[in-house]
Copies of this chain bind each other. A is one copy, B any other.
Amino acid sequence: MDENIRYMFHPRSIAIIGASNKLWKVGHAVIANVLYGDCLRRDRHLGYKGKIYPVNPNEDVIFNLPAYPSILAIPDEVDLAVIAVPARAVPGVIEECGKKGVKAAIIISAGFGETGEEGRRVEEAMVKTARGYGMRILGPNCLGIYSLYEDLNTTFARAMPARGPISFISQSGAFCASVIQYSLEEHFGFSNFVSIGNKSDIDDADIIEYYATDENTKCVAMYIEALKNARKFLKVAREVCKKMPIVALKSGRTEIGRNAAKSHTGSIAGNDIAYEAMFRQTGIYRARTMSELFDAARALAYQPPPSLDGGIAIVTNSGGPGVVATDAASDLGLPLAKLSEQTINELNRVCPPEWSHRNPVDILGDASPDRYAESIRVLLEAKEVSGLIVITAPQAMTDPETLAKRIVEAARGTHKPVIASFVGMISSPAENYVETQGIPEMSFPEDAVFGMHALVHRARILRREEIWQE
């Protein structure tokens, strides 16, 4: 791994080239984000704690910090440069960054390879310059990065995701803003967040190689339109997958999708069959939609993979959603647990006689928080159960928040994965509580099943590795 990339995520000092006092300039949003974490909440100093050097020849002071006419004028070492100046000025800035000994430069500015042949040439020349100085480049044409455990937001987006175990790479900048919004509403968090842009130098392989070394990262999630160097990626991803799960949404799956991708990032999306083969070979879990990407990432980041010896149990207070979940499990080939006689006897002790006596475990419409908690404990202790999906439909007789608390208590300390679905609830306190306690919650049972399937897939990949090593 290139240590320069580690410096990009953990810089001791940052120069923001193009920082500005002018509202609505990209360089204004960037420096505000670096300083405050979230540029719209300047009441809080929750931003980056290292040294910050604004660079702008037309300003003396920016946000109470002295502004420098060029990076070369900064009387200190600079680890990271974030560049938000017009495209024509970027090559000169890169030359100066190189001279200054900058370790990595994030070029936010657009107007390079994505515009055609001429832009591509300028981009290549910049990379050559940077290489001469041993400097790495992220972008151009990107939103920037978040390094959440450094409280570092180098983007011009308006929101800050929460800290958490997912590290993300996106080839679409706009996608990032959507994902952050979604993560805040669904209560999941990130360690790192990279808008990868044109990949002139640093590419997906470089980033995931770093993620694999990051102690806060439990799962890598990727939005890919096209890989630039598939062979390099294959080799690196193969190694990363041994250490941590990767889930990827590769768009341009279809021919018209590929044409749209070409128009978007100028990248040739390539034959989907080749991508499919690569995902299988490396062990990357493939999502087919945006919601699948995050259902899988949340499961993989917050829950352990199940043992492959047992099957998944579904506990529910309502038959319909249980049947729907069973269909989804069958579609995905998710192994369902066959309850042992012992488990059935123990459930008989905690449930009324009408309970389903099989998996899905329907503990009936009047199931109290206590009955849920006791049934969950029985199932998590059962040998034949390797993971649990907890489905609850709202009931007039049950307070959802009490139920949420009892579910979390009952699942505490288990080494088996647990995923919940408070069916039809989108943003209730009950749901939020479960999510903030580390149990992924999905609004519909099928999505919970998908999340569990990602975990079973992970267990299979780990088993494959073991066999290969024997």
Contact = CB atoms under 8 A, between A and B. Distances in A.
Nearest to A257: B327
A178 interface: yes
A443 interface: yes
B395 A177 contact: yes
A424 B360 contact: no
A42 interface: no
A100 to B, nearest CB: 29
A261 interface: yes
Interface string A313-352: 0000111111110111111000010000000000000000
- State the oligomeric state as a number of copies: 2
Contacts of A382: none
B445 A321 contact: no
Contacts of A324: 249, 251, 257, 289-290
Contacts of A115: 354
A369 to B, nearest CB: 15
A357 to B, nearest CB: 8
Interface in A117-168: 156-159
Nearest to A155: B396
Most buried by B among A186, A260, A326, A443: A260
Given A29-B396, A424-B182, A320 B171 contact: yes
Interface in A161-192: 170-175, 177-182, 185-186
A91 to B, nearest CB: 21
Contacts of A423: 174-175, 178, 181, 290
A437 interface: no
A356 interface: yes
A362 interface: yes
A225 B320 contact: yes
Contacts of A177: 393-396, 424
Interface in A57-103: none
Given A175-B318, A317-B174, A444-B291, A251 B182 contact: no
A43 B39 CA distance: 44
A45 interface: no
A24 interface: yes
A295 to B, nearest CB: 11
A27 to B, nearest CB: 13
A356 B263 CA distance: 7
Contacts of A29: 396
A281 interface: no
A365 interface: yes
Nearest to A396: B158
Nearest to A40: B396
Given A256-B330, A328-B289, A394-B181, A320 B174 contact: yes
A254 interface: yes
A265 interface: yes
Contact of A264 (B320, B331, B443): B320
Interface in A99-120: 115
A308 B311 CA distance: 47
A277 interface: no
Interface string A226-259: 0000000000000000000000010111111101
A202 interface: no
A397 interface: yes
7 contacts: A178-B424, A255-B330, A256-B330, A257-B323, A259-B358, A290-B321, A290-B444
